[in-house]
Amino acid sequence: MNLRGIVAISGRPGLFKLIGQNKVGYILESLDAQKLKVVANITNTKLASLEDITVYGEDKEIRLAEVFENIKNAKSSIPDAKADGTTLRNFFREVAPEHDEEKVYGSDMKKIITWYLILKDLPLFNEAEPATEEAEGAKIEEKIVEKKPKATTKPVNAKATAKSSAPAKKANMTSKKGV
């Protein structure tokens, strides 16, 4: 599941796809049927990438992508996001059995189910996850080790160029009326 570039904006319902960035903020497109484009100001808007979101666990944190995979493979039907807290809690015990029940609230479960219902029909939901940064970093390090840096030598007679700190000369503009 590829969640790269999908963000949630605090204070706004739904999910957005990150299209680009300008000097004012991020350019986002909503993932619903309206395809509304929004510019989220950098200074006062909080964005959360779904790729980085985790659910509190008893031993370790559970990545949101893992929870989505478990929801996809769930034996029981997905409850409505507006269902009562006990129904959501029972469903989450099946989907994420190691989640911390004291720290994961009903509103969090509703949000995750709503996000899943938005994402399940999109093609990126079935895409493979891109390579992790650690694997990419290891490949880059291997390439650096293979290439030996070339030694650069300076010419012996090279003179250093010094910039003069004197101001530029003014042009002499005299008028010759009588000549």
Both tokens of residue 46? 């909080």
Structural domain boundaries of the chain?
1-52, 53-128
Cβ atoms of 23 and 30 within 8 Å: the answer is: no
For domain 1-52, is the CATH number 2.30.30.730? Answer: yes
* Mean model confidence pLDDT for the chain: 77
Look at the block and give the residue holding tokens 């510019």: 39
Query: What digits encode the pLDDT tens for the residues 98-122?
Result: 899 899 999 999 999 999 988 888 7
Q: What is the separation of C-alpha 140 from the centre of its chain, rounded to a whole number of angstroms?
A: 22
Instruction: Give the relative orientation of helices 85-95 and 64-72 as an angle to the nearest 10 degrees.
Output: 100
- Residue of 63 and 2 predicted with greater confidence: 63
- Using DSSP, state whether 111 is helix, strand or coil: helix
* Interval 142-163 mean pLDDT: 50
Q: Which residues of 72-85 are buried (b: 16+ CB within 10 A; e: fewer)?
A: eeeeeeebeeebee
Query: What digits encode the pLDDT tens for the residues 61-94?
Result: 999 989 999 998 888 888 888 888 889 999 999 9
- Using DSSP, state whether 75 is helix, strand or coil: coil
Q: pTM for the complete prediction?
A: 0.67
53-128 CATH fold = Arc Repressor Mutant, subunit A (1.10.10)
Residue 21: pLDDT band with limits 50, 70, 90: confident
Least confident span in 9-13, 141-145, 162-166: 141-145
Angle made by CA atoms 30, 35, 78, in degrees to the nearest 5? 60
